[in-house]
Structure 1
Amino acid sequence: MKLVAICTSAVLSVIIPLSNAVAINLGNLKGETRTEYFSPYGVRELCVVPKKWPGAAYRSDDTSKESTLCGYDFYRTVGICPKYNSTNPGVLLLAPNASYSKEAIDASDCNLKKMSVKTEAKFKQTITCSYTPSILAYYHMSRILGGVGRVPVSVIRTMDLKVHSQLTNKAVHALRDSTDTIAQAWRKLGEMHLNPRAFPQLVDTTFTQLYGGLSDNVKNENVYNDVSGRGTYNSRYQRFLKQKPFLKVASTKTVAQLVGSGEFTRVAQDVIQMKDVADMVLIDTLMNQQDRIGNIHYKFYWYSINPSTNRIERSKSDAELVDGKIVIPAEEKRQMAGRTAVVLKEMILKDNDCGVIKDNMMRAYSVLEKVRHMSYLTYRYFMAFEKSLAAPATKDYFKTELLFTDKDYRSLQDNASKAKEILTGTCRTGQLKFDLDLENYLPGARPPLTPCSN
């Protein structure tokens, strides 16, 4: 049960060997808030909300989502099931309903295809392609760069090893005939439970708890095949570079030339999509992302101009893609009648666990060097952040709040230094166009001066 909340200011090796890995000391985790729970075996579990980066563009609902994540009690409020699909194992937090109580969910075989329950959050650890600091850091890096990628909120969570062992046994049994990577990973987790001291990247110093990143689960999203394309896993990055969205980002033409218009409703989707792609390239370059292409999603949103303020307003849409065409609910059309408005695809980067210590695929394919369009806001946020990386306080933040190792931080510094060199170079030679801020396409808007940064 909940004890207390204390406020303070794919396809790789199954278990990742970290030469400098040490079990985590839970007493060192302070964060902004620290919520504690007791497991059925008397182990005091933790949920810690890392402190926020000063000056970052956190969303208005980020804090409430952090509170929601740390409000999930594994033993009272949500059902818990092992994850059987995809590559990386994890624990799914499932919302009970009239058909399945928490007790029924926990007692089930966790075949979600048969159950009408919603996944509220995912709890993942350092295993297969997954790395806990990557899960945590992507959320904060997204906000540090101005909100790029709309990355879901994540917090630090722990779980009693005895409870996790029971879930592991359930997964091993369910996947007993499978040779997939996720089945192999669950079996390896079974070995971890027999000798947790041999797996310091997964457990705390008392060897009673497993720790990882707990992330909000985005619902009703769609796979963004426009950006990823379709094809084999091994050709995913070569394929991405040939898709229309990236070709536009790499084009020497202006947005107006590419679209054939500068009018808001005609240009909005291209600007948002191009910004999303360029932002994704930058954050993945910084974060050593290995498994992005094919793991990109989107949701529909209305973008409209408020006639009184001449500002852009954004609201959810229940539009659907049917046979390649966007079908908009009639009620939404009535609500937007008479306004300058358009339904757009917004990118969501929800799968962010395969980074930081992985192969940097964006750098391997020199993708940032090919970018010719960028949001000036993103550019400015990045340049300010890159400058801060030399400060001891920045390193302390990433190590204390986001669980980076010294090696992780050096990698981030190196990636940021390289990204700065590339972007300032293309900016100074006039190759980089800052034309991906949609506000600049409002009627009567005058694009601001966009000097290159040092």
Structure 2
Amino acid sequence: MNLCAVSVLSSMTLISSFAMAISLGNFEGESRKEFKSPRNLTELCVIGKKWPGADYRTEDQKKEGTLCGYDFYTNMGVCPKYNSTNPAILLLEPNAQYTKQQIDASNCDVKKMGVKTEAKFKQSITCSYTPAILAYYHLSRIFGNAGRVPPAVIRTMDITIHKRLTDKAINTLQGTNNPILASWEKVLEVHQSPRFFPAVVDAQATQFYGALSDNPKNEEQYVDVSGVGKYDTRYERFMNQDPFKRLISSASVSQMVGTTDFAQVAQTALQLKDVSDMILMDTLLNQQDRIGNIHYKFFWYYIDPVAKKVVRQKSDAKWVNDVIQVPEQETSAMAGKKAALVKEMLLKDNDCGVTKTNMMKKYKVLEQIRHMSFHTYKKFMAFEQALSTPAGQDYFVKELLFSPSEFRHLQRNAAEAKQILKTKCQANQLRFDVDLELYVPGAAAPAPSC
């Protein structure tokens, strides 16, 4: 079990005692859908309202609708999660070999069944915190899809159904040394005294509530950024990896690479943008468990010479015996283009934040960076200003389930980050050279200003 899980397990009763009981009738959002449990209890799925001006995509809206189309009792198999340290309910897509009923009745060996996990339902238990999952999704879009965080919605589950799944997890894991067993036993404590845990159970003590988030597939661990080693020294290790060393270098991206040619610069520039975006979001949202929870997918980036813009295209490239195998049709399609096959960061595991130890602040990581996206910088400055408005607090409290004190902490984090970045910018210690559009020949580059 990692330290994050241990520390939160031991203080969970204390944390819960300060939480406010939530009435499900207050969950409004942009839209909401109702489901009926076997005992005729009304469960909810709530799609949050959108932050004005944020970069939500059509794909996001479709995915939110898909998430709120998942029914625990009709179209999706449900199983407790047995890996890692944080408990969750997995939503599994039935296939030709396993129907929903067969999945539900199984011992939930997901890998053996070969069923796909389409979504994860997590609550504020152990290191996981519902507002963190929700906030990362919306903050990602506020910053222009930074980190490409998967969409998430609010979901509830009949407490009696959740209890059955908790019992199933404990019975299956009993007698093993699997670290998640202790987490599921803590969930059982919630079921035994539900009214003592208002951060997990609604005011009527009839339902568990949390975040239901999309589960991306075929991603890889971004070891280049995280490195490999002990959990206790994960942030020191991250700061000794080449991507972070480049991020704190005073040299420009073109100096690092030795050219401004798009195909050769693209990976370095994108990686620096992704890492700096991640550092900023983690600083704002008190992330405790990022390093080791960073993923990527392969994408093609190439220049459209007519429109003079960067085009992004999904790739089916994959690792085979430590060698990247690229489909021949992709190689042919990119021949003759200014194209680069790159690792695009994916931040899919964001639950350990908001009320946790802010590891980026602890190690003063934001103070050290020397490269940043100007687009992210501008969006962050506007966001920091918006947090001072009543509408800003209203959004985070009503849509993302922040308490007023948690929102004030976010405001303080944002104000501190603004001072750090603006000071560095005014001292010419912050290069805005990681946006790929800067490397399109003939494209008009924006004039950065602090």
State the TM bucket, normalised to the shorter chain: over 0.9
RMSD: 1.1
Q: For residue 450 of structure 1, what is the aligned residue in structure 2?
A: 448
Q: For residue 191 of structure 2, what is the aligned residue in structure 1?
A: 193
Distance (whole Å) between structure 1 residues aligned to residue 251 and residue 393 of structure 2: 39
Query: Does residue 98 in structure 1 map to residue 96 in structure 2?
Result: yes
Give the drift of 1:94: 0.1
Q: Is the 8 A contact 1:375 1:437 kept in 2?
A: yes
Q: For residue 183 of structure 1, what is the aligned residue in structure 2?
A: 181
Q: Is the 8 A contact 1:16 1:126 kept in 2?
A: no
Distance (whole Å) between structure 1 residues aligned to residue 13 and residue 147 of structure 2: 26
Report the residue type matching 1:115 in the other structure: M
Give the drift of 1:97: 0.2
Q: Which runs of 5+ in 1 are unaligned?
A: 1-9
Q: Is the 8 A contact 1:24 1:204 kept in 2?
A: yes
Q: For residue 6 of structure 1, what is the aligned residue in structure 2?
A: none
Query: Does residue 17 in structure 1 map to residue 26 in structure 2?
Result: no
Q: For residue 34 of structure 1, what is the aligned residue in structure 2?
A: 32
Distance (whole Å) between structure 1 residues aligned to residue 320 and residue 259 of structure 2: 27
Give the drift of 1:16: 5.8
Q: 1:170 aligns with which of 163, 168, 174?
A: 168
Q: Is the 8 A contact 2:253 2:433 kept in 1?
A: yes
Query: Does residue 216 in structure 1 map to residue 222 in structure 2?
Result: no
- Show CA shifts across 1:409-442 (max 9, x none): 0110111011001000100000000001100100
Q: For residue 410 of structure 1, what is the aligned residue in structure 2?
A: 408
Distance (whole Å) between structure 1 residues aligned to residue 323 and residue 440 of structure 2: 26
Q: Is the 8 A contact 1:69 1:155 kept in 2?
A: yes
Mapping for residues 68-147 of structure 1, pairs under 5 Å: 68-147=66-145
Distance (whole Å) between structure 2 residues aligned to residue 195 and residue 354 of structure 1: 24
Give the drift of 1:322: 3.7
Q: For residue 374 of structure 1, what is the aligned residue in structure 2?
A: 372
Between the aligned residues of both structures, percent identity stands at 57
Give the drift of 1:337: 2.3
Q: For residue 258 of structure 1, what is the aligned residue in structure 2?
A: 256
Q: Specify the SS of the correspondent of 2:8.
A: coil
Q: Is the 8 A contact 2:371 2:430 kept in 1?
A: yes
Give the drift of 1:324: 4.4
Q: 2:297 aligns with which of 296, 299, 309?
A: 299
Q: Is the 8 A contact 2:295 2:346 kept in 1?
A: yes
Give the drift of 1:276: 0.2
Mapping for residues 314-353 of structure 1, pairs under 5 Å: 314-353=312-351
Q: 2:235 aligns with which of 237, 241, 245?
A: 237
Q: Specify the SS of the correspondent of 1:98.
A: coil
Give the drift of 1:399: 0.2
Give the drift of 1:323: 4.8
Give the drift of 1:444: 1.8
Distance (whole Å) between structure 2 residues aligned to residue 398 and residue 224 of structure 1: 30
Q: 2:382 aligns with which of 363, 375, 384?
A: 384
Distance (whole Å) between structure 2 residues aligned to residue 413 and residue 54 of structure 1: 18
Q: Is the 8 A contact 2:272 2:434 kept in 1?
A: yes
Give the drift of 1:312: 1.2
Distance (whole Å) between structure 2 residues aligned to residue 74 and residue 17 of structure 1: 31
Q: Which runs of 5+ in 2 are unaligned?
A: none
Give the drift of 1:198: 1.5
Report the residue type matching 2:14 in the other structure: P
Q: For residue 396 of structure 2, what is the aligned residue in structure 1?
A: 398
Distance (whole Å) between structure 2 residues aligned to residue 342 and residue 390 of structure 1: 41
Distance (whole Å) between structure 1 residues aligned to residue 97 and residue 178 of structure 2: 31
- Show CA shifts across 1:99-158 (max 9, x none): 100000000000112111000000000011000000111000111111110000000000
Distance (whole Å) between structure 1 residues aligned to residue 197 and residue 211 of structure 2: 17
Give the drift of 1:190: 1.4
Q: Is the 8 A contact 1:16 1:128 kept in 2?
A: no
Distance (whole Å) between structure 2 residues aligned to residue 383 and residue 351 of structure 1: 25
Q: For residue 249 of structure 1, what is the aligned residue in structure 2?
A: 247
Distance (whole Å) between structure 2 residues aligned to residue 325 and residue 421 of structure 1: 44
Q: Specify the SS of the correspondent of 1:61.
A: helix
Distance (whole Å) between structure 2 residues aligned to residue 128 and residue 418 of structure 1: 28
Q: Specify the SS of the correspondent of 2:58.
A: coil
Report the residue type matching 1:404 in the other structure: F
Q: For residue 313 of structure 1, what is the aligned residue in structure 2?
A: 311
Q: Is the 8 A contact 1:16 1:127 kept in 2?
A: no
Distance (whole Å) between structure 2 residues aligned to residue 357 and residue 344 of structure 1: 34
Distance (whole Å) between structure 1 residues aligned to residue 305 and residue 31 of structure 2: 41
Report the residue type matching 2:286 in the other structure: N
Give the drift of 1:325: 3.8
Q: 1:273 aligns with which of 271, 287, 290?
A: 271
Distance (whole Å) between structure 2 residues aligned to residue 439 and residue 428 of structure 1: 23
Report the residue type matching 2:332 in the other structure: R
Number of paired residues? 443
Q: Is the 8 A contact 2:13 2:196 kept in 1?
A: no
- Show CA shifts across 1:214-264 (max 9, x none): 000010000000000000000000000010001111000000100111000
Distance (whole Å) between structure 1 residues aligned to residue 415 and residue 128 of structure 2: 25
Distance (whole Å) between structure 1 residues aligned to residue 164 and residue 279 of structure 2: 39
Q: Is the 8 A contact 2:309 2:443 kept in 1?
A: no
| More displaced stretch, 15-24 vs 185-194 | 15-24
Report the residue type matching 2:198 in the other structure: P
Report the residue type matching 1:217 in the other structure: N
Distance (whole Å) between structure 2 residues aligned to residue 270 and residue 16 of structure 1: 45
Q: 1:446 to 1:307 in 2, by over 3 A?
A: closer
Report the residue type matching 2:80 in the other structure: P
Q: Is the 8 A contact 1:149 1:347 kept in 2?
A: yes
Report the residue type matching 1:224 in the other structure: Y
| More displaced stretch, 134-143 vs 194-203 | 194-203
Report the residue type matching 1:39 in the other structure: S
